[in-house]
Amino acid sequence: MNNRQYTFWQANEDVESNVVGTLNLLEKSVKKGVKKIVFASSGGTVYGIPKSLPIPETHQTSPLCSYGITKLTIEKYLALFHRLHNLDYTILRAGNPYGERQRIDSVQGVVTVFLGKRLLNQTINIWGDGSVARDYFYISDLVSAFVRVIESDTKSKIYNIAGGRARSLNDILSVIREVTGLQPVVQYMPGRKLDVPVNCLDIQLARLFAISCAAILGEYF
């Protein structure tokens, strides 16, 4: 139920849209005298299968999918442009944000998509048994993190931005059922080998920088 489900094998498209597009932006930024770039990376994909939880920023990066590989590649290019052109940067490795204005007909954002499908009495398709867990947090917290980083001098180049708690797809279904009083109609499909089983980010570094995030799904609904 996310963008990565159809980009696993579309490496050329991923590189063209994500990596090449960002390189063009970085080159223009240098020419125009831009001082700092704040990049939205993917804390849910760049680390790959975690060796321990929660995942700190120092954890090894070994993405399993094309989307994650392109995000990590861009991070490396940011470091390169910093060395070559003194272009400052901060990377926000975001978990899985949810919130207002997410499209219910999208292939991204399982929280909103699942809720939308239930309210429309549509079947919710889930890859695997629903145990895949991600670190969901409210979109306004991500916006606040961007503002905080833009307006301040950061001590670190990389920050995890998330709720600091892993919730499975089945957990989300349970919250929807509790809040709406409606039983979701679910179709479980064969799992995907490139899905990371669980992702939960260590957000202590962000908290030290006065960035806080919430992961209270019920209040959003």
DSSP structure string for 175-208? HHHHHH--PPPEEEE---TTS-SB--B--HHHHH
Mean pLDDT of the chain: 91
Task: State residue 45's pLDDT score.
Answer: 96
Question: Strand, coil or helix: what is 158?
Answer: strand
The domain covering 3-220 belongs, at the CATH homologous superfamily level, to NAD(P)-binding Rossmann-like Domain (3.40.50.720)
Residue 92: predicted pLDDT: 98
First to last CA, the chain: 19
Give me the residues of the chain with pLDDT under 50, please: 1-8
Residue in 67, 89, 98, 220 annotated catalytic: 67
Residue 33, classed as helix, strand or coil, is coil
Domain ranges of the chain: 3-220
pLDDT of residue 220: 64
Task: Give the model's pLDDT for residue 169.
Answer: 98
| pTM flag (> 0.85) | yes
* Crossing angle between the packed helical segments 110-119 and 169-180, to the nearest 10 degrees: 40
67 is catalytic: yes
Q: Is the dihedral of CA 133, 134, 138, 141 positive or negative?
A: positive
pLDDT in tens, 151-191: 988 878 999 999 999 999 999 999 999 999 999 999 999 99
